[in-house]
């Protein structure tokens, strides 16, 4: 049996560290890590809309990109940790690579409802309701609502 508690601590600590880094850079504070079942961090990253003018480097995409080219099997016992409920693009990336487990810091400040699509495709979804994840996002949305709306495709 996997020691999820210990692996999840490593994974979410990495994701939160990325989110804090992005916040401190003036960016959107969403971080992510991709961790194998033995606790190895395969990749980590954060939203880069502001830092790199990137519309596609959301936290999850940045973490998968950071991991580089992997054989299909490497994704299939991995967990992806994200500080915020994933959008449809990041959900699609999780489904593309058949990542079987998603741990989400929080889904209160934003959710596109993609968790239901993940679950319907057999992905295990764990919600942590982490106070720091919520506080980072709430602060950013309050201070920079236009950048946030741009990131989720809203006017």
Q: Is 69 one of the binding residues for its own copies (CB under 8 A)?
A: yes
Nearest approach in angstroms of CB 56 to its own copies is 5
Residue 95 has, within 13 A of its CA and on its CB side, a CA count of: 16
| CA 43/CA 40 separation, integer angstroms | 9
Segment near its own copies (CB under 8 A); pick from 15-23, 83-91, 101-109, 123-131? 83-91
Where helices occur in the chain by DSSP H, the ranges are: 4-24, 49-52, 59-67, 72-75, 88-96, 114-120, 131-143, 145-151
Q: Phi and psi (nearest 5°) for 17? A: -60, -40
Q: Is 111 one of the binding residues for its own copies (CB under 8 A)?
A: no
Report the catalytic residues.
60
Q: Is 110 one of the binding residues for its own copies (CB under 8 A)?
A: no
Q: Is 49 one of the binding residues for its own copies (CB under 8 A)?
A: yes
Q: How many residues line the site for its own copies (CB under 8 A)? A: 35
Nearest approach in angstroms of CB 106 to its own copies is 19
Residue closer to its own copies by CB (options 8, 90) is 90
Q: Is 53 one of the binding residues for its own copies (CB under 8 A)?
A: yes
- Tell me how far CA of residue 15 lies from CA of 1, 32, 106, 120, 129, in angstroms: 24, 4, 12, 25, 14
Q: Is 122 one of the binding residues for its own copies (CB under 8 A)?
A: no
């Amino acid at each position: 049996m996997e020691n999820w508690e210990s692996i999840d601590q490593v994974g979410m600590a990495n994701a939160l560290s990325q989110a804090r880094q992005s916040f401190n850079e003036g960016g959107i504070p969403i971080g992510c890590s991709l961790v194998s079942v033995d606790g190895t961090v395969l990749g980590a990253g954060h939203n880069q809309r502001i830092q790199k003018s990137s519309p596609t480097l959301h936290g999850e995409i940045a973490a998968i990109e950071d991991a580089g080219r992997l054989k299909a099997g490497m994704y299939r016992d991995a967990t992806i940790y994200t500080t915020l409920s994933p959008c449809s693009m990041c959900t699609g990336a999780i489904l593309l690579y058949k990542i079987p487990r998603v741990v989400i810091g929080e889904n209160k400040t934003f959710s596109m409802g993609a968790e239901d699509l993940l679950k319907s495709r057999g992905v295990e979804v764990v919600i942590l309701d982490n106070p720091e994840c919520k506080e980072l996002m709430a602060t950013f949305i309050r201070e920079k609502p236009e950048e946030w709306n741009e990131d989720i495709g809203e006017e």
